[in-house]
Structures are given as structure tokens and as C-alpha cells.
Amino acid sequence: MLQAENTLFTLVMLLYFSAMILYFAFVALKKDPIVKVAMGLQGLGLVLHTAALVLRGLAAGRLPLTNQYEFATAFAWGLCLVSLIFMLRFTFPLLGAFSAPVTFLIIGYAAMQSKEIHNLMPALQSNWLGFHVSTAIIAYGAFGVSFVLGIIFLLRDKMKAQGFLDEHIPSREKLDIIAYRSVSLGLLFLSFTIITGAIWAERAWGSYWSWDPKETWSLVTWLVYAVYLHLRLRKGWQGKAAAIFAVAGFVCVMFTYIGVNTFLPGVHSYK
């Protein structure tokens, strides 16, 4: 089963890579049919990615969300899913040209991690794990989309001269509200992540909040996006300033995910 998961994972990487190249080709050649193929490949990649995650879950006998490899691949899955939904929902296929590279980078990071399946330590044997990590995947995916939307917003004015891009990129107001929708989705799910994590921590460690670096940075991320939401309500702070905060928020997300694990080890392991 793990062999099959491995084969699927490699296939998924190839599909995501091909989709990314096609999105770039769409921008370069300005031919609409290309983007449909790109979206098709990304969709197929997402289906196979789901199958790979299911296979790994069956092989491990648990939800495959407990180590760096499993979370990274699930993160890429979440980002791919949310970006596809936003592309279809807001008829904005060019979003793929910006989100596909991020998805590919994250699945590339997953490929560099150990794929071994280990037994779970007692603290991780909890039903709350599923709620906690799966909500984090959607939150991170949504924040990934808001990040690329922020980048697109900031680049939009520089692309003004090009009719093709202007035609395929929504107006500033619409971009702003699409980014707001993705931040909303992310913040709601991040709140679920933090609260389910707190409930789980209380059961596992007897303390629902202990200012562990991972907890603290989740809070920092939450606060940064809260600032984003408040800024959008202020006249003169919509648009560019909000887009900068959307980008900064994702930097916090990535630091919470990779930076904290690398530089600030805490009590996110049973002692």
C-alpha cells in the first residue's frame, strides 16, 4: 500500500508541476485553452493526491496527519483544493499561475521529509488530532490563497499596460474582496485549529494554553489576520495595506509551520 502511495505521490508532483508550467504558458502565450488543460491537470492531481492520502491513512491505520511529511503533503493538498475552489467560484483561472508554484514548493518540501510511518506516542492518540490538524490544513490552504491574492494585488498596477492580464485579473475592489473571503475562511478554520488544539492539550497535558512557541505563533498569526480584517474596515487602509497584511500573515503561517519546528522547539511532544 505504501508503494502505491509513493507512486501516486510522484505522479501528483508531476501533475502539479505540469499544471504550473501550463499556467505559465497561459500567461506567456495568452491562449485561453491552455488554462483549461492546466486546471484539468491540477484537478486530476488533487484527486490522485486525495487517493494517496487515503492510502497512507489505510497503511498507517490512522489519519495521516502526524509528522512533517504528512502535514506538508496535506498542506499542499489543502492549498490546491482551496485555490481550485476560488478559481472556479470567482472565475479567476489566472490565480493558478500564482498558487501552483506555492503548491509545488510545499509538496516539494514534503518530498524532502522522511516518509516512514511511526507508531503514535500516547499524546497523539486522540480524536482531537483529526479535528485539530485537518482544520489547520484548510486554514493554511486558505491563507496560502490569500497570500497569492495579496501578491497579485500588489503586482496588479505594474501589469496595467498588458491588456491580457488586465482582462484576466479582477478589479482591485474584487481582488480585495476575494482576498477577504480567503482570509475569512482561513481565520475561521485557524480559530477552530487553536480551540480544538487547546481542548486536546488540556486532555493530554492538563493545560489548554502554555505559551508554547507553536501556540504563541498561532496566536500571532491569528492577531495579524485580525489586524487585516480591522484594517479593511478603515477608509484609506483597504486594498494595498490589507494586501500587505495578507502577505505578512502568510509569512507568520510559514514561520509557525516550519520556523517554529526548526528554531523554537517547544512542548509539542510528549515528555
Residues that bind another protein (CB under 8 A): 90, 118-119, 121-123, 125-126, 171, 173-174, 176-178, 181, 184-185, 187-188, 191-192, 195, 198-200, 202-206, 208-209, 211, 213, 216-217, 219-220, 223-224, 226-227, 230-231, 233-234, 260, 264, 270-271
Burial 132-169 (b: 16+ CB within 10 A, else e): bbbbbbbbbbbbbbbbbbbbbbeebeeeeeeeebeebb
**Whole-number Cα distances in Å, 265 to 113, 199, 211, 255, 269:** 18, 21, 12, 12, 9
Strand residues in the chain grouped as ranges (E): none
Burial 50-70 (b: 16+ CB within 10 A, else e): eebbebbbeebebbbbbbebb
Min separation Cβ 118 and another protein, Å: 8
Based on CB atoms, which residue is closest to another protein, 88 or 121? 121
Side chain identity at residue 261, one-letter code: N
Side chain identity at residue 191, one-letter code: S
**Whole-number Cα distances in Å, 67 to 123, 200, 267:** 13, 17, 15
Based on CB atoms, which residue is closest to another protein, 101 or 266? 266
Min separation Cβ 2 and another protein, Å: 17
Q: How many helices (H) and strands (E) does the chain have?
A: 10, 0
Based on CB atoms, which residue is closest to another protein, 49 or 156? 156
Min separation Cβ 268 and another protein, Å: 13
Based on CB atoms, which residue is closest to another protein, 110 or 124? 124
Min separation Cβ 244 and another protein, Å: 13
Based on CB atoms, which residue is closest to another protein, 68 or 216? 216
Return the C-alpha cell found at 119.
507508531
Min separation Cβ 223 and another protein, Å: 4
Min separation Cβ 184 and another protein, Å: 4
Based on CB atoms, which residue is closest to another protein, 17 or 255? 255
